[in-house]
Amino acid sequence: MDSIQEKRDAYQKARSLLDRNDNQLLRYAVLEFRRCIEAVVYEKLWAYRDRIPLDAAKKWQPPQAFKALQLMEPNAASTAIIRIAKQNNIGEQVNGNFETTGIDVRPNTGWLNKTYNKIGTFLHANWPFSHNVSCKDPRELRGYLEKVASELEPLVKKSFTCTVERLVTFECSVCGSNIKANANGLEQAGEVFCINPECGSRHFVTKEGENLLFSLDACSVKCQECQTIITLPRQKLHVGYDFSCPNCTSQYEVHEQIWEIKKING
Ligand SMILES: [Zn+2]
Ligand SMILES: [Zn+2]
C-alpha cells in the first residue's frame, strides 16, 4: 500500500470507528489517526526522495521523519495553488493563460508532530498520577478526535506536492551526509540539524551575500601531544565521549563536565 492509499485507508477506518459511537473504540480510532498522520508525512517525504540520504532514511522513526519534512517544507501550513504558463523567451514576462497544475496543501509539521504525540498518550494504561486527565473523560477525547479529523481531512483529500524551490546542498562536517534543503527555510531557521539519526549534528546557517554558510555548533580542544586544535560537535559531548587527534591519533575521553556560576546583577 503506498502512502496515499494508506492515509486514506487509515482516515476512513478512524472515521468509521468514531461514527460507531462506542467509547470503547476511541483507542482504536487513535491508532488509525496515528497511522494516517505517519502516512501524510511519508507521502510528502516521498516527493523529496531524491534529496534524502537513503541510508539515513532507513533508520528513521516517525520523529526523525517529522524533522526531515520540516527541513524540506519550512513554509508549513502555507497552502499554494500552482499554476504554469509557457514563457517564450528567458526573462520575458509571461502573457499566456496560466493553467492550474494542482493545490499543494502543506501540513503544519509542528501541528502534525504535536497531534501525533498527544493522541499517542491516549493509548497508555490509566495512571492515577498522570497529568493527562482528558483521557479519563471519553466525551472530551471524542471531541478532540473530531477536531483532529476535521483538521486532517484536507491533507487526506489532496495529494499534490510541488517541490520547485531554491535548494541548497551542504555536507555535514561530522558524518559527511549530503543534505539538500530549502534555502529560504534555512535562512529563516538560522540552523539545521543533520538528518542522519546517528549524527544529528547542529550547524548554524548565516547568509553572506547570496551564499549560505554552514558552521558546526562545536567547541575545540588542543591535543596535549601535538597541539593540534580538535573540533568536537557540541551535540555529541557527554562524559565518556571518546575521540582521537586527527594528526597524531592520541586517544582522549571527555572526563568531566564542569558547572560554573557567575553573579548576576539585581
Ligand atoms: Zn551528520
Ligand atoms: Zn595530536
Tell me the per-residue pLDDT of 143-198, one tens digit each, with 9 for 90 and over. 999 999 998 888 888 766 665 667 788 888 888 888 877 787 788 778 888 877 77
pLDDT at 164: 60
**Residue 11 pLDDT greater than 60, yes or no:** yes
- Give the model confidence (pLDDT) of 108-130 as tens digits: 777 888 898 888 888 887 777 76
Query: Number of C-alpha atoms within 13 angstroms, CB side, residue 153?
Result: 8
Q: Of the bound ligands, which one is closest to the alpha carbon of residue 246? A: 2
How would you classify the pairing of strands 251-253 and 242-244? antiparallel
- Which of these, 55, 52, 38, 27, lies nearest to 3 by C-alpha position? 38
Q: CA 187 to CA 195: how far, in whole Å?
A: 18
**Residue 250 CA to ligand 2 centre (angstroms):** 6
Ligand 2 (ion): residues with CB under 5 Å are: 223, 225-226, 228, 245, 247-248, 250
Question: What Rg value do the Cα atoms of the chain yield, rounded?
Answer: 24
- Give the model confidence (pLDDT) of 198-243 as tens digits: 788 888 988 888 888 888 999 899 999 999 999 898 888 889 999 9
Q: CA 228 to CA 230: how far, in whole Å?
A: 6
**Residue 231 CA to ligand 2 centre (angstroms):** 12
Phi and psi dihedrals of 242, rounded to 5? Answer: -110, 150
Question: 88 or 39, which is more confident?
Answer: 39
| 205 SS3 class | strand
